[in-house]
Amino acid sequence: MIFLSCVEKRTASGFMIFHMTYDLASAMVRIVNLIGMMLLLCHWDGCLQFLVPMLQDFPADCWVSKNKMVNDTWGQQYSYALFKAMSHMLCIGYGMYPPVGMTDVWLTILSMIVGATCYAMFVGHATALIQSLDSSRRQYQEKSTADGQIIFSPFAKGGQRTEIDRYPWSLTADAQ
């Protein structure tokens, strides 16, 4: 009988460790997916930042012409476009030259809106993830606070208070 009790306890603790590991792994997958989605949006925005001036045959007031990048390699063009897109999405600047043409202005506005939305989503997902990983401690604190409110209630008599106070300990004593 004692052997079965030990096996049951070890199985339960192993299940709890597996459950905690699974929760942590799924949380990491969610964070990696979110970061991957943000990088994909940055890539799309960078390509759009370069595509629109290219479709207009690089007007003189666009950022590509001002930076003299019309005939540069595609790697340099992509790098600067991605940097410009990330700068807009994080709302930290416009690059060397602020947007002058109407299309550049609207691309910058679109980029900033998408970036602010991504930032809000990231903060929301991170907050939800942190709360979900710590749910057992939060539930314990809520229940112990509720117990404390019952114990210190003016309607609880002295005998009831000690009985309520001893109740969790009597459960563990019975289990052993």
pLDDT value for 96 = 77
Stated pTM of the model: 0.63
**109-125 confidence digits (pLDDT tens):** 999 998 999 889 888 88
pLDDT value for 147 = 59
Tell me how long the chain is.
Answer: 176
- State residue 57 phi and psi, 5-degree precision: 60, 40
**14-64 confidence digits (pLDDT tens):** 555 555 566 677 878 888 888 898 899 999 999 999 999 999 999 998 889
Instruction: Give CA–CA dist 74/56, Å, rounded.
Output: 18
